[in-house]
Amino acid sequence: MIKHAVGLLIGALVTMNGVADEQLEQGKKIFTQEAKPSCTVCHTLSDAGSAGTIGPNLDDLAPSMEQVQNAVRSGVGVMPAFGESLSAEQIEAVARYVATVTGGE
């Protein structure tokens, strides 16, 4: 719980910068809409309003930005790789979003 609260505080500080805020918004859009299949199908992430149970609960896992980038780029277990369907900028945005809202940064 404390880790999540610290993550939210860090996220709030990061979003004071307009560029960072824009990247977080882009990351959320990729997570919820643009990735095909959508990340919400498999993952629970409360900020995104998703409750998928195929992949890990990202709120509990609180992955770092690097962990998310690696997983999205190359895939993990049954998770497909998105390295060819998402740009490097999109992967960075979704990784920053997930790591920030879960406190994994």
Tally Cβ neighbours within 10 Å of residue 36.
Answer: 10
Residue 44 in contact with residue 50, Cβ under 8 Å? yes
Considering the entire predicted model, what is its pTM?
A: 0.81
**Looking at the domain that runs over 2-102, which CATH code has it been given?**
1.10.760.10
From the list 55, 68, 66, 70, the residue with the least C-alpha distance to 98 is: 68
Confidence of residue 87 (pLDDT cuts 50, 70, 90): very high
Confidence of residue 13 (pLDDT cuts 50, 70, 90): low
pLDDT-derived band at 18 (thresholds 50, 70, 90) equals confident
| Cα four-point dihedral sign 15, 43, 7, 104 | negative
Domain ranges of the chain: 2-102
Q: CA-CA distance, 5 to 78, in Å (whole number)?
A: 30
* % pLDDT > 90, the chain: 79
Q: Which band of pLDDT confidence, cut at 50, 70 and 90, is reported for residue 20?
A: confident
Closest to 65 measured CA to CA, from 24, 34, 29, 32: 24
Q: Is 76 helix (H, G, I), strand (E, B) or coil?
A: strand
pLDDT in tens, 49-61: 999 999 999 999 9
Q: Which of 14-23, 37-46, 69-78, 85-94 has the lowest mean pLDDT?
A: 14-23
- The pLDDT, as a whole number, for residue 104 is 83
